[in-house]
Amino acid sequence: MINEKVHLVEGVSCIKQLREKLGLTQLELAYHLGVSITTVSRWEVGRSQLTLTTSQWKKFHAVVLKPLNIEVEELPEDLGAPYVKAA
């Protein structure tokens, strides 16, 4: 489970917490994924849902998931929504 690996805090978006655990700024994550900083900001506050192309998912895996030892299957359905512990 992702929370056991990264110790996510409830009420804060998962994407933001993952980014911060890696010490990345919004600008750095945006650069790696080929999106704007505004897009990353909108994901983190839940104003838009994270949607990525296959190429972007591969980059997300390499830059975020692999360093944190997280499998795609462990991610919540909406990475931008505030994290809520699974019941």
Question: Could you write out the DSSP letters of every residue in 3-53?
Answer: HHHH-PPTTSBHHHHHHHHTT--HHHHHHHHT--HHHHHHHHHTSS-----
Q: CATH 1.10.260.40: does it fit domain 10-72?
A: yes
Q: Average pLDDT of 49-64?
A: 95
Phi and psi of 66, rounded to 5°?
Answer: -60, -45
pLDDT of residue 83: 81
pLDDT of residue 87: 62
3-class DSSP state of 81: coil
Structure confidence by residue, pLDDT tens digits, 2-55:
877 788 888 899 999 999 999 999 999 999 999 999 999 999 998 998 899 999
CB neighbours of residue 79 within 10 Å = 21
Q: Where are the domains of the chain?
A: 10-72
pLDDT of residue 6: 82
Expressed in angstroms, the distance from the first to the final Cα of the chain is 12
Q: Average pLDDT of 59-68?
A: 96
